[in-house]
């Protein structure tokens, strides 16, 4: 039986080298990188320089109840490493056996950017973001992110999809029992990223249900509504301690800064997220396209 370490032991350099040096994975990896730059960075900066699309203000009054906590920036910015670690983990422990599923996973990462961009290309969205550059991470955020792609939140879409696919891969390799700790790490890591988007004020409480709805549309066979609603219910719960957590890892869920939020506010925020998610699901039953419920919601919001 393999001795598995924490998913947070995985580095960025190993999967990048392995993907680019493996002919079976190289083209897929390059297409994924191209999709990310095309559908996120290039598209946003094009709209900054040559604005053509409507921009909705995605803020909600409940956002005022969520404090700005700069220390959550490390977890927020970890979302790329979050999905890259999955590539690293399975390539390291399963070798060639993991090439096919990991190739599909890398393709999905590129497709997710294009999928969310189906909304962005019709209606952009933004939120009130404090101009805070006291920490280098926030300076990086202001430099590389024009903050026009809030609904749906790609951070949340990718985090949820990644933790779910990790569980699928564990089952595929018949290692669910041996990977229980790592599956829990991924589950709580996804929740931590969802918290981080709120605590660094990159997203509104409106952005999370839109992302949860969008990911169920992208992979309808992967998620049940009950599972998404259970995930919403777990939001703002304390992160558990993991016995194999890397010592000093600032982006591990057990190292997340404490959430200082009154219980009544937590309940109200989760209720709003659940209600809006259910609205999107309900409206999708008569919608012509998957993004129609989100676009209708964006049209209701004030325009910038």
**Can you tell me the distance from the alpha carbon of 250 to that of 49, in angstroms, rounded to the nearest whole number?**
36
Q: Are 126 and 103 in contact (CB under 8 A)?
A: no
User: What whole-number percentage of the chain has pLDDT above 90?
Assistant: 82
Return the closest-CA partner of residue 267 out of 59, 60, 65: 65
Q: How far is CA 170 from CA 132, 175, 189, 276, in A?
A: 40, 5, 17, 32
Mean pLDDT over 289-302 rounds to 98
pLDDT of residue 143: 83
Mean pLDDT over 124-149 rounds to 87
| pLDDT score of 240 more than 80 | no
| pLDDT score of 97 more than 90 | yes
| pLDDT score of 243 more than 80 | no
Q: With residue 229 as reference, give the H or E element that holds it.
A: helix 225-234
201: region left, alpha or beta (phi > 0 left; psi from -120 to 50 alpha): left
**36 lies in some domain:** no
**39 lies in some domain:** no
Mean pLDDT over 84-88 rounds to 97
| pLDDT score of 1 more than 70 | no
pLDDT digits (tens, 9 = 90+) for 32-82: 999 999 999 999 999 999 999 999 999 999 999 999 998 898 899 999 999
Residues 6+ apart with CB under 8 A from 290: 214, 217, 284
pLDDT of residue 253: 82
How does residue 250 score in pLDDT terms, banded at 50, 70 and 90?
Answer: confident
Instruction: Name the CA radius of gyration of the chain, rounded.
Output: 19
Query: What is the b/e burial string over 116-133, where b = at least 16 CB atoms within 10 angstroms of the residue's CB?
Result: bbebbeebbbbbebeebe
Mean pLDDT over 123-152 rounds to 88
Q: Are 195 and 256 in contact (CB under 8 A)?
A: yes
Mean pLDDT over 180-209 rounds to 95
pLDDT of residue 171: 97
pLDDT of residue 163: 97
125 forms beta bridges with: 56, 149
- Mean predicted lDDT score pLDDT of the chain: 93
pLDDT digits (tens, 9 = 90+) for 254-276: 877 777 789 999 999 999 999 99
| DSSP secondary structure of 11-62 | -SHHHHHHHHH-HHHHHHHHHHHHHHIIIIIIHHHHHHHS--S-EEE---GG
Q: Which domain holds residue 138?
A: 7-31+46-300
| DSSP secondary structure of 112-142 | HHHHHHHHHTT-EEE-------SSHHHHHHH
Say how many domains are in the chain.
Answer: 1
Residues 6+ apart with CB under 8 A from 161: 108, 112, 215, 218, 219, 222
Mean pLDDT over 10-26 rounds to 95
pLDDT digits (tens, 9 = 90+) for 276-293: 999 999 999 999 999 999
**237 lies in some domain:** yes
**14 lies in some domain:** yes
More confident residue, 139 or 40: 40
**38 lies in some domain:** no
Q: Mind spelling out the 3-state secondary structure of 230-285?
A: HHHHHCCCCCCCCCCCCCCCCCCHHHCCCCCCCHHHHHHHHHHHHHHHHHHHHHHC
């Amino acid at each position: 039986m393999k001795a598995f370490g924490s998913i947070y032991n995985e580095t960025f350099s190993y999967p990048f080298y392995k993907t680019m040096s493996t002919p079976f994975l190289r083209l897929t990896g390059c297409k994924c990188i191209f999709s990310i730059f095309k559908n996120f960075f290039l598209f946003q900066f094009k709209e900054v320089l040559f604005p053509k699309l409507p921009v909705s203000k995605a803020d909600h009054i409940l956002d005022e109840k969520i404090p700005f906590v700069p220390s959550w920036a490390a977890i927020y910015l970890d979302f790329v490493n979050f999905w890259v670690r999955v590539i690293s983990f399975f390539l390291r422990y399963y070798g060639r056996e993991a090439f096919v599923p990991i190739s599909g996973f890398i393709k999905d990462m590129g497709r997710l950017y294009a999928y969310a961009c189906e909304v962005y290309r019709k209606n952009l969205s933004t939120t009130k973001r404090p101009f805070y550059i006291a920490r280098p991470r926030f300076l990086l955020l202001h430099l590389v992110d024009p903050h026009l792609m809030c609904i749906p939140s790609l951070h949340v879409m990718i985090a949820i999809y990644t933790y779910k696919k990790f569980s699928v891969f564990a089952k595929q390799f018949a290692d669910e029992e041996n990977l229980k700790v790592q599956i829990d790490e991924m589950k709580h890591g996804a929740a931590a990223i969802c918290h981080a988007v709120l605590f660094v004020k990159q997203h509104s409480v409106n952005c999370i249900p839109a992302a949860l709805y969008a990911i169920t549309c992208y992979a309808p066979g992967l998620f049940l509504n009950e599972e998404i609603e259970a995930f919403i219910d777990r939001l703002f719960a304390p992160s558990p301690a993991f016995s194999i957590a890397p010592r000093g890892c600032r982006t591990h869920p057990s190292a997340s800064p404490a959430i200082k939020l009154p219980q009544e506010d937590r309940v109200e925020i989760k209720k709003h997220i659940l209600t809006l998610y259910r609205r999107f699901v309900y409206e999708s039953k008569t919608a012509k396209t998957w993004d129609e419920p989100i676009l209708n919601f964006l049209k209701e919001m004030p325009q910038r």
